[in-house]
């Protein structure tokens, strides 16, 4: 029987090698991408971060701030959002990374 951690990591592995969209804040129903901030890039791996949480490693291609394209990166900007299913400090479950509808 798999533990909840192994299930969490198994689910996170599905994003490796794919283009993902990682939101800055929780995804709330009824909001469109022009009302959100996010990055789009390639998920290269899942790591155990220094703080003990597991995180996606995303090499950023584009960054958007409330629907406005702020930057296009070719220099390897990297972000480390927590894997989906990770609880935050208030006990809410984070789920901020999705497969991107645009594959680069």
Identify the pLDDT of residue 2: 52
| Residue of 42, 51, 45 lying closest to 86 (CA atoms) | 51
- What six digits make up the tokens of 98? 């999705």
- What six digits make up the tokens of 29? 């129903």
Identify the pLDDT of residue 26: 62
Answer whether 0.95 is exceeded by the pTM: no
CB 63 within 8 A of CB 71: yes
**Could you report the per-residue pLDDT of 13-27, keeping only the tens digit for each?**
999 999 999 988 766
């Amino acid at each position: 029987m798999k533990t909840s951690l192994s299930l969490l990591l198994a689910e996170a592995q599905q994003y490796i090698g794919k283009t993902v969209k990682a939101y800055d804040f929780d995804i709330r129903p009824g909001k469109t991408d022009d009302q959100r901030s996010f990055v789009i890039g390639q998920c290269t791996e899942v790591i155990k971060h220094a703080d003990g949480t597991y995180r996606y490693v995303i090499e950023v291609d584009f960054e958007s701030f409330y629907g406005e394209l702020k930057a296009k990166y070719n220099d390897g900007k990297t972000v480390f959002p927590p894997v989906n299913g990770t609880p935050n400090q208030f006990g809410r479950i984070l789920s901020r990374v999705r497969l991107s509808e645009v594959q680069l």
